[in-house]
């Protein structure tokens, strides 16, 4: 994971990408503290550090535009403004589609970032598609002045790329975030031209996500059954070396009709892979173990075994009140 709490924004520039490309003619350095903090949050907001990407090209990596431009900056920081213009020009050519919005392009060179105790230089590229209205409230000589400002929300998700310099003889590490799924094609494939660095992690993560999605959406399962199936899914991935969809179905689901089986196979068959332990660790944090009720009550369940869930939680129906209920068994309060 990249640590940026002690980072310094060495240089930055803002271009505007639209039908007409507007290039910034000056790069700025060492912004004042509040502005630097805002740019830092803009550049690194909600990046998934577990999912790493790498630049590629079908014939010669030197023909990958963004790779060439950022390597030039890492090799010579004096080329920052020139190469940032090249990056903006390349993004402009990759954005020629009516569904891609106009917006500002922030490019920053951050210094003193750290990864595994090593100091790294980092280039952040952020495309900002939307602005918001903010209220500017000031006290001027005991008189409150309120005005509206059209500005950028630095906490909002944008299309972004964080590129870490790993040294002259190593390819940079790339981390990305896209605002919408439909942005992946132009941002990841056409502009950056990056691919997943760890295919096993990527496929394991997608398989776990799709399995969870199916279980939670399947209406024939009760809430307690869903909890048990989610836990059995995690156990399957923990205990097996490879994810095979047919084996997964046989292991996790006691009874599954042909239609349900087809849904599962079609959803996760492309993600059969050697199982990644780090992907499982990430999934464990996101797999819900809650039963949410319309009475605004949530039941948190940390039991793994589905049979144990059935023993501890009983679902019933009270005819007198015409309502469902849960009965929970336990030995003592903790």
132-141 tens-digit pLDDT: 888 888 888 8
Q: Encoding tokens for residue 16?
A: 């505007």
Same domain, 28 and 121: yes
In a domain, 27, yes or no: yes
Q: Count each helix (H run) and each strand (E run) in the chain, helices first.
A: 10, 16
In a domain, 304, yes or no: yes
Domain coverage including residue 76? 2-197
Same domain, 146 and 51: yes
pLDDT score of 303: 59
Q: Where does a domain end: 197, 212, 244?
A: 197
Q: Which has the minimum average pLDDT: 81-95, 226-240, 311-325?
A: 311-325
Of 74-78, 181-185, 305-309, the range with the highest mean pLDDT is 74-78
Give the angle 51-53-56 at the CA atoms, nearest 5°. Answer: 165
Overall average pLDDT of the 108-121 stretch: 94
In a domain, 76, yes or no: yes
The percentage of residues in the chain with a pLDDT greater than 70, rounded to a whole number, is 96
Q: Where does a domain end: 172, 197, 222?
A: 197
In a domain, 334, yes or no: no
In a domain, 100, yes or no: yes
Overall average pLDDT of the 309-320 stretch: 80
Model's pTM, two decimal places? Answer: 0.76
In a domain, 110, yes or no: yes
Going by C-beta distance under 8 Å and a sequence separation of 6 or more, which residues neighbour residue 82? none
pLDDT score of 302: 67
**Is residue 311 predicted with pLDDT exceeding 80?**
no
Same domain, 103 and 191: yes
118, with CB counted inside 10 A (0-12, 13-18, 19+), is exposed
**Is residue 122 predicted with pLDDT exceeding 70?**
yes
Same domain, 189 and 308: no
- SS3 label, residue 187: helix
Same domain, 85 and 184: yes
In a domain, 333, yes or no: no
Same domain, 158 and 218: no
pLDDT score of 153: 87
pLDDT score of 316: 84
Q: What per-residue string of b and e applies to 269-284 under the rule 16 or more CB within 10 Å gives b? A: eebebebbeebbebbe
Same domain, 151 and 34: yes
Q: Encoding tokens for residue 213?
A: 């999605």
Same domain, 191 and 204: no
Overall average pLDDT of the 239-265 stretch: 91
Nearest to 286 by CA among 220, 234, 219: 234
E-assigned strand segments in 166-205 = 173-177, 194-196
Q: Where does a domain end: 162, 197, 232?
A: 197
Same domain, 279 and 237: yes
Overall average pLDDT of the 93-116 stretch: 91
Model confidence band, residue 239 (pLDDT cutoffs 50, 70, 90): very high
Q: What domain count does the chain have?
A: 2
Same domain, 137 and 268: no
Model confidence band, residue 17 (pLDDT cutoffs 50, 70, 90): very high
In a domain, 56, yes or no: yes
Overall average pLDDT of the 18-46 stretch: 93
Same domain, 53 and 172: yes
Same domain, 19 and 136: yes
- SS3 label, residue 105: strand
- Assess contact for 269 and 246: CB atoms under 8 A: no
């Amino acid at each position: 994971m990249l640590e940026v709490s002690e980072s310094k924004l060495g240089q930055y520039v803002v271009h505007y990408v639209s039908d007409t490309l507007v290039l910034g003619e000056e790069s700025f350095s060492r912004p004042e503290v509040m502005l630097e903090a805002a740019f830092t949050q803009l550049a690194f907001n909600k990046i998934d550090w577990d999912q790493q990407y790498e630049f590629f090209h079908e014939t010669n990596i030197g023909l990958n535009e963004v790779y060439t431009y950022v390597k030039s900056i890492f090799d010579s920081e004096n080329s920052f403004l020139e190469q940032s213009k090249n990056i903006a020009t390349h993004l402009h050519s990759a954005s020629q589609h009516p569904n891609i919005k106009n917006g500002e392009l922030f490019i920053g060179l951050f210094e003193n970032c750290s990864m595994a105790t090593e100091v790294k230089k980092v280039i952040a590229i952020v495309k900002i598609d939307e602005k918001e209205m903010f209220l500017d409230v000031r006290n001027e000589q005991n008189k409150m002045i309120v005005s509206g400002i059209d500005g950028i929300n630095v906490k909002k998700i944008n299309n972004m790329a964080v590129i870490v310099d790993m040294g002259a003889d190593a390819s940079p590490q790339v981390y990305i975030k896209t605002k919408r799924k439909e942005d992946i094609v132009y941002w990841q494939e056409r502009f950056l031209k990056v691919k997943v660095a760890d295919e096993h992690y990527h496929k394991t993560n997608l398989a776990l996500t799709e399995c969870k999605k199916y279980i939670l959406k399947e209406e024939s399962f009760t809430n307690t059954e869903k909890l048990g199936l989610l836990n059995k899914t995690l156990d399957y991935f923990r205990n097996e070396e490879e994810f095979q969809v047919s084996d997964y179905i046989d292991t996790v689901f006691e009874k599954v009709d042909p239609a349900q089986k087809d849904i599962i196979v079609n959803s996760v068959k492309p993600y059969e892979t050697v199982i990644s332990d780090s992907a499982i660790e990430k999934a464990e944090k996101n797999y819900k173990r809650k039963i949410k009720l319309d009475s605004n009550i949530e039941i948190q369940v940390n039991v793994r075994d589905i049979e144990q869930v059935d023993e501890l939680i009983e679902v019933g129906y009270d005819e007198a009140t015409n309502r469902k209920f849960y009965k929970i068994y336990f030995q003592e309060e903790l």
